[in-house]
Structure 1
Amino acid sequence: MHRNNFKILFALSFTVFINTFGFSQDIPKKGKPIKAVEDDSLVVDIAVPNIEVPVLSEKSQDSTFTDSIKPKELLEYTVKYSATDYTKFNHKNQKLYLYNNARIDYGDMNITAGSITIDYNTNMVYAKGITDTVSGYTQKPVFTQGTNVVEPDSIIFNTDSKKALIYNSVTEQGEGTVIASLTKKENDSVYFIKNAKYTTATDLDDPDYYIRLLKAKIVPGKKIVTGAAGMYIYDVPTPIWLPFSFFPQSEKHTSGVLIPTFGEQNDRGYFLQNGGYYFAINDYVDLAVLGDYYTNGSYGLRLESTYAKRYRFRGNLAFRFENLISSERGFPDYSKSTIYNLRWSHSQDSKANPNSRFSASVNLGSSTYYRNSLNQINAGSNFLTNTLNSSVSYSKTFQGEPQVNYSVTATHTQNTQSQSVSMTLPTFQGSIGRMYPFASKTGTKKGIIKNVNLQYNLRGENRIQTTDSLFFKKEMFDDARAGFQHTIPLTTNFKVFKHFSVSAGTNYNEVWSFNTIKKTYDYSTRETITEDINGFDSFRTYNFSTSIGTTVYGMFNFEKEGKDPKLMAIRHVMRPSVSYNINPAFDKYYESAEVINADGLTQGELDAIQSSNNLEYSRFEGSIFGSPGRDFSSSMGISIANNLEAKIKDKDTTKTEPKKIKLLNSLNFSSSYNFAADSLKWSPVRVNGSTQLFNNQMSINFGATLDPYALDNNNARINKFNIDNGGSLFRLTTANLTASWSLSNKDKGKKKDTDNVASDNPEDVLPKNIDYANQQIGRDEDENGDNENEEGVNFYNHKIPWNLRLAYAINYSNSRRQNEISSHSLMFSGDIDLTTKWSVGASSGYDIKNQGFTYTQLRFSRDLLSWKMDFSWIPFSERTSWNFFIGIKSSILQDLKYEKRRQPDQRL
């Protein structure tokens, strides 16, 4: 029995040994070795005394446990895929099949197609559309990688090398589209194409034009470099072929050459205009250097720069210079001149600094620049500009109580007709905010005392009057005038009898002048000599004023029992006011001119000369802030402001409130009476008003001056009322009327906003500067509708959009019995869209007084899908000319154009 137990124990020990150290031929998972079993429950439960179990060494692992051949990694990224019909994986061929609305996402690559096959053995992806017996070839692949999108017929892509073959692809490159029969994707940044078309047309199935590229290299977002390239219009080849071409596609601004415009000018020969180089200096500023050259020797130079910094400022700067030569040297009509123009615009973002602001708007140069410039950019109606204005200002506010403000401004005004120039270099203005010395810190300000307030204002100027010939020369400063003006207004306001508002105040004024004069009378030549004196001098003035006014409301109702009139009521608002002003006489600042060469004159003759009015003067005459008043003035002013509104029943029966319309926006009367004057105490009555008609489409402004005094035989005013002289109560001395009317069928039946209100400025109907060669023409949006032909014209319900702007002005003068119409004119401008592609416009005017047409311009425009055709014509005047232009709308191909212009005739 003991022997049998030993055999059983030996068998169990052997079994445990085999199970512990034995392995099968299966390869275990990498990185997870199987640990040996140290103890077995069966062995522990059976006690075997006096028997020693030999310690066995750990068996070495089988060579198959760590195979020297590593498993192959199939793909670099995780492949995410989906399909509508099915996804099938072939284990034997290691291929994945996706069908119907298939989609694959692999890294930054995305492919959608009707059918996609992935070969894991070769790392190839095959994508194509599916063929339907009804729809044909549908669900074409769309290949997206990063920002690049390609829409081919089919595609083969290698996920390992990232190379691809793309068949019949359509891809957007900047503003254009590339349609290629075969494209080889070399890497993420380089594509090679063969037999391709480049176009900016919207209809890619049948583009109206394209540039055929035999071979090309595309660097997305940077450039397209091609071999031989030719222009095709509706698949018809044109003679425009280039051995190579370059299309910039950079999303950032880059430096490059600016192609000039070629043409001919009547008396200066052939020319190249607006050619040069564009410098992309950095992200904040750029510079364009442009030049013009004419075969007779004339030339021009233009520098243009634009700068901007987000949330801080933006602006542009332009300088233009032209050297003009007429005829040829040696001929009597030979002439040589230079003209220039400087423009600068700067605006500060309101969020940059709320307490300080800098702005600039500068337009200065030669007075004849726009009239004599040869550059086509200045063509059009710029020659009608009569004034050039400039302003550069900086202002700062110091918050607090009281608030302190100051500003420094440089201004420039130039009359291009008289060639006079007026400048302030600079004007300084400072002020301390309104202060209430007697008001409590809390509560409202009521009463005369609590409403007493005062301010302090300071203004300093350095004013220059010069001419165009002395502009920017040292002589322009010879007649400069400088001075300061201090003003302290002290005012208060209060109410009396509940309905009357009363204001009263006084104003202290002190002027510091650095330029005064001295007059002497030369008896021998009988002339008054004026001598300029440079040095500090000053004078002080003050005045008093008060006014009382109220508002009166009146309502006249037309509604009665049993009647429901359309006109329900008329509301009249009247604001009368009476003012009184006292201006003391400051004759202490006046003196008589010294008489020289007075030998032999009697005292009576001297007194007669001294008493002459032209010898009584103030030394502050001609200073920038004027001279103090010599005569005492005590005057009363009367004014009445009116407006009329009507309430009418609204056509919309669902509305319960009546509709309000304005009959008269304003109707004002004003005059004054001078108690201290010895004659002509009443000033003329001035009347002005305005109204709007036809749903605010027509704006009317009118004014008149009525004089109560009569005229003598010399047409001079006399101290006698006109009614006492056998005339009417008033003499109409001046009158004016301006009306502007804006008509359009686009907004008919729609509510008008403030943008559609007719302008009061007649110049709004003047022709604008139209130059097709230099403008970037935006792509027009077509209005699609049912039952339309290829031009978008709906023959069943077609409307012809049109707009018409009219301006009428008349002025009457009769101050000295001339009884004449001083000016009388009508101006008009309009456009008609005959179709969605054809547009016709005209701008002109008629001088009714002088019986002649003013500057006239006719315009014709044709939208040719990707192209734009324009024609403008000035049929008569000194600038008779025409301009024809046809070119591509896209800015990247704006140099593909044809332009022909007829310059104005040469005038000797």
Structure 2
Amino acid sequence: MQTNIPNTLFCLVCTLLFSFALQAQEGQNNSIPVKAKDTVVPAMNTEEINLALQQKDTVVKDSVRPPQLLTDVVSYTASDYMRLSPRENKMYLYNKAKVVYGDMTIEAGLIVIDNAKNEVFAYGITDSTGTYIQTPIFTQAQKTIEPDSIRFNFKSERALVYNSRTQESEFRVKGQVTKRENDSVYFMKNVRFTTSEDIDNPEYYFYARKIKFVPGKKIVSGLVNMYIADVPTPLALPFGYFPMTEEHTSGFVIPSFGDSQFGYNLQNGGYYFAISDYVDLMALGSYYTNGSYNMEFTSNYALRYRFRGNFSFRYEKQFNSQRGFPDFSERSNYNIRWSHNQDAKANPSSRFSASVNLGSSQYYQETINQSNTGNFLNNTLSSSVSYSKTFPGEPGINLSLAARHSQNTRTQSINMSLPTMQLSMSRIYPFAPKVGAKKGLFENINLQYSLRSENQIQTTDSLFFKPEMFRDARFGAQHSIPISTNFKLFKYLSVSTGANYEETWVTKTYQQSFNEVENRVVRDTVNGFEAYRTYNFNASIGTTIYGMKSFGKDKKIQAIRHVMRPSISYGINPGFDQYYDTYERTNPATNQIELVDYSRFEGTLYGAPGRNFSSSIGFSLSNTLEAKVRSNDSTATEPKKITLLNNFSLSTSYNLAGDSLQLSPIALRGSIPIIDKKLDINFGGNLDIYALNNNNRRINKLNIENGGSLFRLTNGSVNFGYSFSSKDFEGGQKDTDEMDNETFRNGGRPDDLFGKSTDPSDNYKEEDPFEKKEKNPNSDWYHYKIPWDLRLAYSLNYSNNARQDQISAHSLMFSGNVELSPKWQIGVSSGYDLVNQGFTFTQLRFARDLNSWIMSFNWVPFSNRKSWNFLIRIKASVLSDIKYEKRRVRDRQL
């Protein structure tokens, strides 16, 4: 027995080496060399091959029919030749060979069909330079695999594939050896999978020795390592699960680690719920070691041709310092956002929409997990939820229900309307002819009816949704019936006249009296229905005057046209003394009893009716200046029309019933077009003819009589906004969807004039700045076209209503982005305040396209929001949680 041990070990080692050699030989990627033409066995066509197959078997067939091995017809083609070998019972297809069996298709340079084993072998071929070409392409059920060689069994439908390459969803998978169990399960050995476009030379990949691959569903692997540029990284997992479905699937959101003044933290970890094809839910949370935390729930929903929207709720609890320390404090912040848009085709007679943004006034200033510059610069939060319904008929009825909210984040005051109902009736022409157009004063008489009813609430942050919030709510309803008509006078004058009747209802009034003991006015609330009625009259007359100056068709400027639209209006408002009462009080200066007038409707929703009689004449003049210029296009047959001055208007009014200061300031408004439909300079101002006294109050004395000029400029403004890009010079158009813009939904601007969002919670929704760029397949570098965009906003305000003679606001804001190369993009958002002599909020942005990765760096170099954020992550959404993020948040103690 001992003498046989060396022989036994020798045989065992040889067996293992032999099996290892067989396995290594099977895994090689060498193709079977095939000669161009066999001179011994000539090429045969399809009919000859079928005839040879029939004559091959000389044994008389059995009356019992053998079982059918193939379930479908096998068709095949080849470019050079198809050769049948009866001795081997094989068929050889050479050069652009193709075999089709059911829904399975194999294309290769060489295909060998083994009829005895019901197998097919597919290989590539070598060209004259020795290059391996026409590698197999295996297609089944719209799935394509491109290996070096294939071995497929028709009976079992199993296959062995060597160096296969396939794409599933955003993944590209390459395996050294693949065993196909069926059309839905593959087992692979020595596999690399990545989202890189170049599977043979990827920027990164995950390597696994064994995996189970279910196309369209998942990849399950054993030990998996991440390689970057073929260099193994410490990132390794004992097993891996990678979903590959193209549909939305539920899954965990990996949090990011960081540190801040609240301690070490895990931010924005949670779970994504793919509830259905129409709605989803993202639940995120963050925790800090000092006890602070925040939660966020975001949901998107859509139903094609019906509606789409999104909802978000954020809540956070902040703890400053540590419990027991004298500087310890805590606060809570929350924010609710809801956007809902109804498709115009869903229901033409009714519409529902919502735009909600409410919460704590200090949320965007104090939130831990928010760096959205477009929102913390905004001082107003507003919301509106409305439903409208149109009832067809004659006359038509329109009904609208709305709930509105307005919140000032500085004063923390909140105004709400819960709800507002508006009912209106279309115009009725009682004297209009049944056939033909309406003519004259009598036939154009028309009337309407409208009702507005609302419940208005004024409160603050501290009382929001508390019982005190509803205590001082004001309810009222206002009915309005306007009657008007219009007609032509002397063919060129347009005259319109009308009267308006209003009736106002309230549910409470306020009785006033004077308390002599406490020396103050006492207001008592009187609950009960009350109403008052008002009416007024108005008339206007206007026309349009055209003026033309021609310079000749041979001139550059061929003609200038001036269009003036003067208008004179008259309005009369009676005084309604019947709604006013009096109370007695002692004048402390004279110690005399005097009567004080007041209205019990003061402080109600629509206020008190006017007591003073007014009769005023208004005047306005609108001017438009246009020019015809010779076109630079030599093929143009007509001159080009340009606008030199657009809607330059002057307006004022004179109070006939006033005893002093009867002329109102003259208002000037207009715009100067600089670039057609791109840049208009808007300007405005007020001119006053009255002088000021030593206390800077208006007096009934002309300014020119007081030693000044004819007019006194009380205020003025100049502003413009300009946005242009390289696409404007290429005829391109930028497509934006404001509803998908996170900054805009939060109440900010849809552009990046005030900077782009660097909110860590939005990283999974961050757009790739290089994604929509059209790449040139023939070049990796720009030659003369560099994509860029630029936005400018200029504003100047002048104040002099009380002799301050100062520029109250003067600033220039700008924002721009430029792609230095197809891989590099830089951007900046900043501005300069010329009044305070300093830069406004400034943000610098850098982005680098790393093919499968994207790297970005956002930096706020100065101000009390000084911070930076660095992020590098995989582009593909399925692996977006694989990232490295480092940031320094602003110091909230500043």
What is the one-letter code of the residue matched to 1:578? I
- Offset of 1:208 from its aligned partner? 1.2
What is residue 533 of structure 1 aligned with on the other side?
Answer: 526
CA distance in 2, matches of 1:453, 1:786: 66
C-alpha contact (below 8 Å) 2:651/2:668 kept by paired residues = yes
Q: Which residue number corresponds to residue 277 of structure 2? A: 283
- Where do 1:354-373 residues align within 5 Å? 354-373=348-367
Matched, 1:397 2:397: no
Matched, 1:809 2:795: yes
- Shift in Å, 1:745: 4.3
The alignment partner of 1:476 has SS state of helix
Alignment of 1:134-533 (within 5 A): 134=129, 136-265=131-260, 267-376=261-370, 378-533=371-526
CA contact (8 A) 2:110 2:125 kept: yes
* Superimposed CA distance per residue, residues 698-750 of structure 1 (whole angstroms, 9 cap, x where no aligned partner): 33111000111111222211122222333222111010111223354453475
Q: Deviations over 1:558-579 (max 9, x none)?
A: 117xxx2211111211111111
CA offsets 1:819-857 (integer angstroms, 9 cap, x no match): 111111121212232222112221112211111221111
Partner in structure 2 of residue 716 of structure 1:
697
Superposition TM-score, scaled by structure 2 size? 0.88
Distance 1:384 1:263 in 2: 26
Residue 765 of structure 1: how far off its partner (Å): 2.1
State how 1:852-867 maps to structure 2 within 5 Å.
852-867=838-853
Give the 3 Å change call, closer, same or farther, for CA 754–312 of structure 1 in structure 2.
closer
SS of equivalent residue, structure 1 residue 371: helix
> For the residues of structure 1 that align with 2:501 and 2:293, how far apart are their CA atoms?
58
Distance 1:90 1:437 in 2: 100
Aligned-partner Cα distance in 1 for 2:180–2:689: 92
Closer, same or farther: CA 381–501 of 1 in aligned 2, 3 Å: closer
Give, as a single letter, the amino acid of the residue that structure 2 aligns with 1:536: F
Name the CA distance, whole Å, in 1 between partners of 2:317 and 2:327.
Answer: 16
Secondary structure of 1:834's match? strand
| Paired residue secondary structure (2:765) | coil
What is the alpha-carbon distance in structure 2 between the residues aligned to residue 456 and residue 817 of structure 1? Answer: 47
Aligned length: 820
Match of 1:105 in 2: 100
Residue type at the aligned position of 1:895: D
Give the 3 Å change call, closer, same or farther, for CA 721–763 of structure 1 in structure 2: farther
1:780 is the counterpart of 2:765: no
Residue of structure 2 equivalent to 1:3: none
CA contact (8 A) 2:786 2:818 kept: yes
Match of 2:559 in 1: 569
Residue 770 (str. 1) matches residue 758 (str. 2): yes
Matched-pair contact (CA < 8 Å) for 1:740–1:762: no
How far is the alpha carbon of 1:252 from its aligned partner? 2.2
Q: d(CA) in 2 for partners of 1:765 and 1:698?
A: 16
SS of corresponding position for 1:833: strand
CA distance in 1: counterparts of 2:60 and 2:322, whole angstroms: 102
TM value normalised by structure 1 = 0.87
Is contact 2:727–2:733 with CA below 8 Å preserved after alignment? no
Cα gap change, 1:121 to 1:639, in 2 (>3 Å): same
- Partners of 1:764 and 1:247 in 2: CA distance: 36
Classify 1:749/1:729 alpha carbon distance in 2 versus 1 (closer, same or farther; 3 Å): farther
CA offsets 1:608-650 (integer angstroms, 9 cap, x no match): 520xxxx321111122222211111111111111111111111
Provide the C-alpha distance between the structure 1 equivalents of 2:845 and 2:240, rounded to a whole number of angstroms: 35
CA shift in 2, pair 1:786/1:313, >3 Å = closer
Number of the residue aligned with 2:805: 819
Distance 1:101 1:749, change over 3 A: closer
Which has the higher relative contact order, 1 or 2, with Cα contacts under 8 A spaced 6 or more apart?
2
Contact kept, 8 Å, 1:324 with 1:337, in 2: the verdict is yes
Residue 679 of structure 1 pairs with residue 660 of structure 2: yes
After alignment, is 734-743 or 177-186 more displaced?
A: 734-743
Instruction: Judge conservation of contact 2:123–2:149 (CA < 8 Å) in 1.
Output: yes
Q: Secondary structure at the match of 1:370?
A: helix
TM-superposed deviation, 1:203: 2.4
Q: Which segment drifts farther, 842-851 or 452-461?
A: 842-851
**In structure 1, C-alpha distance between the alignment counterparts of 2:550 and 2:750, rounded to whole Å:** 38
Measure how far apart 1:889 and its partner are. Answer: 0.9
Q: Which deviations, in whole Å up to 9, do the C-alpha atoms of 1:341-371 show, x marking residues without a partner? A: 1111112222222111111111111111111
Q: What residue identity is the alignment partner of 1:861? A: A
Q: Deviations over 1:64-86 (max 9, x none)?
A: 99955213424201223323223
Contact 1:777 1:890 in 2 (8 A): no
Q: Distance in 2 between matches of 1:67 and 1:134?
A: 52
Q: Residue 588 of structure 1: SS of its match in structure 2?
A: helix
Q: Compared with structure 1, are the counterparts of its residues 748 and 354 closer, same or farther at alpha carbon in structure 2 (3 Å cutoff)?
A: closer
Gap change, CA 1:403 and 1:620, over 3 Å in 2: same
Q: Take 1:752 and 1:667, find their aligned partners in 2: how far apart are those partners?
A: 31
Counterpart Cα distance in 1 of 2:318 and 2:130? 67
Indicate how the Cα distance of structure 1 residues 495 and 906 shifts in structure 2: closer, same or farther if over 3 A, else same.
Answer: closer
Pairs within 5 Å for 1:47-126? 67-90=62-85, 93-126=88-121
Over 3 Å counting, the alpha-carbon distance change for 1:713 and 1:781 in structure 2 is: closer
Residue matched to 1:849: 835
Q: Given the superposition, is the C-alpha separation of residues 763 and 308 from structure 1 closer, same or farther in structure 2, using an over 3 Å criterion?
A: closer
Tell me the distance in 1 between the aligned counterparts of 2:122 and 2:804. Answer: 91
Distance of 2:560 and 2:76 partners within structure 1: 76
CA distance in 2: counterparts of 1:337 and 1:784, whole angstroms: 50
For residues 183 and 782 of structure 1, do their structure 2 counterparts lie closer, same or farther at Cα, with a shift above 3 Å needed? farther
In structure 2, distance between residues paired with 1:776 and 1:710 = 58
1:553-564 equivalence runs, <5 A? 553-559=546-552, 564=554
How far apart, CA to CA, are the structure 2 residues paired with 1:388 and 1:785?
44
Q: How does 1:633-782 map to 2 (within 5 A)?
A: 633-748=614-729, 765-771=753-759, 773-778=763-768, 780=771
Residues 576 and 80 of structure 1, relative CA distance in 2, 3 Å threshold = farther
The question of whether the paired residues in 1 share the 8 Å contact of 2:366 and 2:892 is answered with no
Deviations 1:446-471 (A, max 9, x none): 22222111111011000000001111
User: How far 1:809 moved relative to its partner?
Assistant: 1.0
Q: Secondary structure at the match of 1:892?
A: helix
**SS of equivalent to 1:448:** helix
Query: Radius of gyration: which is bigger?
Result: 1
Taking the aligned partners of 2:124 and 2:60, their CA distance within structure 1 comes to 48
Distance 2:766 2:844 in 1: 21
Let me know the Cα RMSD of the aligned residues. 2.4
Report the counterpart of residue 56 of structure 1 in structure 2. none
CA contact (8 A) 1:74 1:120 kept: no
| Residue matched to 1:6 | none
Amino acid at match of 2:338: W
Kindly indicate whether the alpha-carbon contact (under 8 Å) linking 2:826 and 2:846 is maintained by their aligned counterparts in 1.
yes
1:184-226 deviations in whole A, cap 9, x for unaligned? Answer: 1111111111111111112233211111121111111111111
Secondary structure of 1:361's counterpart equals: strand
- SS of aligned partner of 1:815: coil
Give the distance between the partners of 2:803 and 2:652, measured in 1 at CA: 22
